[in-house]
Amino acid sequence: MSTSVAMHMSDGLLNATTSMLFIGVAVVGLAVAASRARATLDDRTAPMAGLVAAFLFATQMINFPVLPGVSGHLLGGALAAILVGPWVGALCVSIVLVVQALVFADGGITALGANITNMALIGTAAGFLVALALRGIAQRGRVGLVSVAFIAAVVNTVLASLGFVVEFAMGGETSFPLGAVAATVVGVHGLIGIGEGVITALTVGAVAAVRPDLVYLLRGTQRPLELRTAEGVAA
């Protein structure tokens, strides 16, 4: 059973009432994200948002082994939040989930609301809040930034899986003991979080090394360009 909880929820895993409730939650959350994202999306960040979405899409197709018989894939909330910010990030993850459901039949259409709530809203928010809280460490240098990315990704994964537990408790199969489901889901996602953390840290580290101007978390920390001449520092 753990094979499935590591992937998107499919149709029929939650009952219709719960599915509709979380579609509502997702629509409201995305409307807020869209209104806030408009201010941050320009000619430079639009391709970044598109690339983050495409990157998440490609990496979500690759399942890495966690335990024998159990595999997980990247959720991507923390990666998106650190690179493009929480609002655009939530939209990126949601778009990935919608396209996967519509085109690649990965994750159910009616379960989209719950999937978006977990991975796009809870995941991105958790990843961003952790990164924001540790921003001082992240701005200190490469090691700091990479460690913050790792921690944010682990927290994002575990909190997103807790979202699933809540939804399952509200409208899932009652024949399953909830405690066992919660323990399995959270345990598996703790392990997935390590894989997620490694990928997030590698990606954020590489982008920050080459193009620190593209990392949302590092915005406003660049030192203004200094012109040094033979006489000293010019204005």
Partner 1 sequence: MQPFHRPGDTPVHRLPAQVKIVTALVFVLCVVATRRTEFLAFGLYFAVLAGVWTVARIPPVWLAKRALIETPFVILALALPFVAGGPTVDVLGVAVSEQGTLAGWNILAKGTLGVLVSLTLAATTSPRDLIVGLQRLRVPAMVITIATLMLRYLEVIAAEARRMRTARICRGHDPRFLWQVGATARGIGTLFVRSYERGERVHLAMVSRGWAGAMPDDPRPVGRSAWLLGLVPAAVAAAVLVGVSL
Reported as type and span, the H/E element at residue 204 is helix 178-210
Report if residue 10 touches partner 1, rule: CB under 8 A: yes
Question: Which residues does 8 contact at the CB level (< 8 Å), separation at least 6?
Answer: 97, 100, 101, 106, 107, 108, 111, 115, 119
Report if residue 140 touches partner 1, rule: CB under 8 A: no
Report if residue 99 touches partner 1, rule: CB under 8 A: yes
Tell the burial category of 167 from Cβ atoms under 10 Å away from its Cβ (0-12, 13-18, 19+).
buried
Q: Which CB atom, from 105 or from 133, has the smaller least distance to partner 1?
A: 105
Beta strands 64-67; 70-72: pairing state: antiparallel
Q: Which CB atom, from 129 or from 198, has the smaller least distance to partner 1?
A: 198
Q: Which of residues 28, 176, 213, 221 is near partner 1 by CB under 8 A? A: 176
**Can you give the binding site for partner 1, defined by CB under 8 A?**
1, 3-4, 7, 10-13, 16, 19, 34, 37-38, 41, 43-44, 46-51, 53-55, 57-58, 61, 88, 91-92, 95-96, 98-99, 101-106, 108-110, 173-177, 198-199, 202-207, 209-211, 214
